[in-house]
Amino acid sequence: LFIIGLMINVNVSATIYKVGIAWGENADFATLQELITAKVGQAADDEIWIAGNHILNDQWNVNGWSGNVYGGFAGTETSVEERERVAGGRGWEFVNPTVLSQETKGVRNSIMYSGSSSGSVFSLIDGIHFDAANCAASPLFLRQFGSSGITVRNCIFENADLPTDNVLSGGTADYEAGAINMGSDDAALVRNIVVEECLIQNNKARVGAIMARQAAIKNCIIINNTGVDTDKSGGVYARDVFSIENTVFWNNKIGETISNVNANGKTTLVANNIIDELNDTFLSSSGNIAETDSIVIFSPKEITLSIPDGVSIINTSVPKTDEKYIVKLGASFNFTVRVPEERTIKAKIGATDLSVKPGSLADTYIVTSTGIMQTTQIEVFLDENITYVPEKATTAAIDWESFLSQHDMFWTSISGDLTAASYTQINIKTGYYAGALMGNGLIGTNMYKLKDNVYRLNAGRSDVTEIRKPYSLFNSARLPIGYFTLATVGKVTSEKMRLSLYNATTKGAFITDKGRIDFKTYVHSLKNYIVFETESTGEEVDYAWEFVGQKAISPRYIQNGSADAGYLNAQGKSNPDAVSKIEGDYHFLIQPLVTDNTFATVGKVYVVAWKEVKSGTKRRIIATIAQQTTEQAAIDEAKSLIDAAFAEEAEVLETSHKQWWNEFYQKAAFVSFPNTRFESFYWAQYYKFASTTREDKPIVDLQGV
């Protein structure tokens, strides 16, 4: 017996907390203040999606939070990319802005603050409008933090008018900045700060806009900020090495004197910016442009394209107007071209190479220029050499069924589950951990021995979960559903089964002192049901087939005997008991799922349904799991699936199931190893992942994987 097992840790997706009434019933918190009080969303892969405007009654101490925070949502989005931007606008221009502000002007109150070097802060802040009118300290004041860096993107900082006498205890002066202050005098750990595609305007403080350590500022507009301390800056003050690229500085002052950047003796890289006054930091030799006329600075920029013969433009990020493309100051511009077969291109603005990447269509390339600062021409050149394109290998000649049959999983005896409940006694070569896995990415099963003379066929569906809010390990837990059992009439004397990788079908036999049961089972590759067929001899034609429902409760509670407060009701249940029901030949187990422990509102209902048809010594069983918002809708869906299955001949149904799998392997990247064991392991995992998830299905379930 050779069983292949695999344990994999996968960061499947972020945990998302939706904040704001605009999310409606999908909101985890109505206000940002509620999320802050609850102290959730702090894990590295967590995301906080904020919709609407929020007024805080105290600064948000973000020390201890990590992950990402986003604004700019309407409340209907399912991804960050769906946030709607103003047509032709810059990165910070959202149709549905998220404005954060303070209710009253307190003592040193920021909007986001971190003062400890031992804790992390967000990795990314994206799409937040910081209105600092009621701030008494920098709206984004990360004085110290211990994480490896932070990116601030697509944000607005404005309206700060900060007091000039803020000094923290211990004699450490924190020269307040009107927008962003990252890294105080003693904050040696603060590093890797990126501020990109942000608007910083109309702020007044000891440093007008930004004070930071090890910062990269790019594609920003920093205008009309005022610094109060004469030895600091109206714009940016460096505490450590920093770089500034593709950014506009205009009318940042100390008093009446232009003061855009104070390098403070630190190493700087300052290139390709527009500024109203060149100096030793902003050199024209580094591509910096001096311009004092604000109309000229902020007017849209014109782009012309120089395209060689044989290259055609397919599309551009902005429409063409009078042979030119018009973009906002600092905006990015991209276009897609088709090139002659087997040729590649380069693109430049002056001597600067632009990003060129292959497009989604054959012989196409996408050219991107970030931060357009002035009227310019982009030139495209065909490479001189024709690209060598090797002949593609083909797997058409492979006899896939014969090849994969070498790696089928087979059992000459079938092990049972261990009786001990302790994790220390788990053995991956027995029972559940050594079963025959089958699935289609949504519905799944695992066949193995439950105990002597009884075999188990699990029923799993990967999107059957608790539906509580807010998210937690209990409130969103995957739920056990149940399993079918086949109990033989006599004592089993011999057993065997084989899982065909090529056909995703398990066949086997149970031989007893009362007869024999030959069986075949699979989860249809495209349709959501489990098929189980048998042909028996002797007294085994009357083997027992039953379904055992499992409690709809978090497996963590089943294992550990404890749960979060509020998860269970007074009777120790998280959902009502399931109800069994028979309608003619249909068998149902009906399980309502409730939204809280009062059981007042049923949010979803899942139904396990099956139907058995006997013909002489043959039995055919079709089972499914349907989930809907009402009991009747779930029952109707289940019956419809079962009826459609029985309407097809068994051979026709099985052929359509096998077809998907056979074609799946024929599209595979063929891999062979000199070590047969490694080769078997590879193809078994290939099969298992196609069983547990698909492109249009939920993430990998834990059913046996």
String of DSSP letters for 376-396: EEEEEEE-SSPPP-PPPP--T
Residue 105 near residue 135 (C-beta atoms within 8 A):
yes
Residue 285 near residue 279 (C-beta atoms within 8 A):
no
Query: Which of 480, 501, 445 has the alpha carbon at shortest distance from 692?
Result: 445
> In percent, how much of the chain has pLDDT > 70?
91
Alpha helices (H) along 373-473: 400-405
d(CA 449, CA 495): 10
Instruction: Calculate the alpha carbon distances from 76 to 23, 26, 73 in Å.
Output: 7, 9, 8
Instruction: Calculate the alpha carbon distances from 204 to 101, 104, 247, 575 in Å.
Output: 16, 18, 20, 56
d(CA 121, CA 101): 19
Tokens at residue 37, please? 């009080």
User: How many residues appear in the chain?
Assistant: 705
Other Cβ atoms less than 10 A from the Cβ of 395: the count is 13
d(CA 108, CA 111): 10
Residue 36 near residue 59 (C-beta atoms within 8 A):
no
**Where does the pLDDT of residue 170 fall: very low under 50, low under 70, confident under 90, or very high at 90 and above?**
very low
Per the omega criterion (within 30 degrees of 0), is the bond before 139 cis?
A: no
Give the distance from CA 701 to its chain's centroid. Answer: 16
d(CA 37, CA 552): 30
pLDDT score for 393? 55
**Where does the pLDDT of residue 174 fall: very low under 50, low under 70, confident under 90, or very high at 90 and above?**
low
> Which amino acid appears at position 77 of this protein?
E
* DSSP structural state of residue 578: P
Query: Which of 21, 97, 20, 113 has the alpha carbon at shortest distance from 58?
Result: 113
In sequence order, what are the residues at sequence separation of 6 or more whose Cβ sits closer than 8 angstroms to the Cβ of residue 649? none
Residue 275 near residue 374 (C-beta atoms within 8 A):
no
pLDDT score for 385? 58
534-562 burial by CB neighbour count: b if 16+ within 10 A, else e? bbbeeebbebebebebbbbbbeebeeeee
Q: Is 704 left (phi over 0), alpha (psi -120 to 50) or beta?
A: left
Output the pTM of the full model. 0.53
Other Cβ atoms less than 10 A from the Cβ of 160: the count is 28
474-518 pLDDT, tens digit each: 999 999 999 999 999 999 999 999 999 999 999 999 999 999 999
Instruction: Calculate the alpha carbon distances from 111 to 61, 96, 106, 181, 368 in Å.
Output: 8, 20, 11, 12, 35
> Which amino acid appears at position 356 of this protein?
V
pLDDT score for 185? 63
**Where does the pLDDT of residue 701 fall: very low under 50, low under 70, confident under 90, or very high at 90 and above?**
low
Instruction: Calculate the alpha carbon distances from 362 to 219, 312, 341, 365, 366 in Å.
Output: 32, 13, 9, 9, 12
pLDDT score for 410? 86
pLDDT score for 171? 39
* DSSP structural state of residue 478: B
d(CA 533, CA 518): 8
pLDDT score for 428? 54
Mean pLDDT of the chain: 87
Lowest mean pLDDT among 191-195, 596-600, 659-663: 191-195
Lowest mean pLDDT among 304-313, 452-461, 546-555, 572-581: 304-313
Looking up tokens 């992950």 gives 67
For the cut 80, the answer to whether the pLDDT of residue 13 exceeds it is no
Query: Which of 347, 359, 351 has the alpha carbon at shortest distance from 307?
Result: 347
Query: Which of 3, 2, 1 has the alpha carbon at shortest distance from 433?
Result: 3
Mean pLDDT, residues 454-463 taken together: 95
Query: Which of 362, 391, 361, 394 has the alpha carbon at shortest distance from 667?
Result: 394
Query: Which of 216, 283, 292 has the alpha carbon at shortest distance from 252?
Result: 292
d(CA 292, CA 657): 71
Query: Which of 390, 359, 398 has the alpha carbon at shortest distance from 669?
Result: 398
For the cut 80, the answer to whether the pLDDT of residue 63 exceeds it is yes
pLDDT score for 423? 42
| Partners of 221 in beta bridges | 199, 248
353-363 pLDDT, tens digit each: 888 888 877 78
d(CA 326, CA 303): 6
Instruction: Calculate the alpha carbon distances from 531 to 48, 263, 622 in Å.
Output: 42, 72, 5
Torsion over CA: 345, 349, 351, 353 (sign): negative
> Which amino acid appears at position 162 of this protein?
L
69-118 pLDDT, tens digit each: 999 999 999 999 999 988 778 899 999 999 999 998 876 689 999 888 77
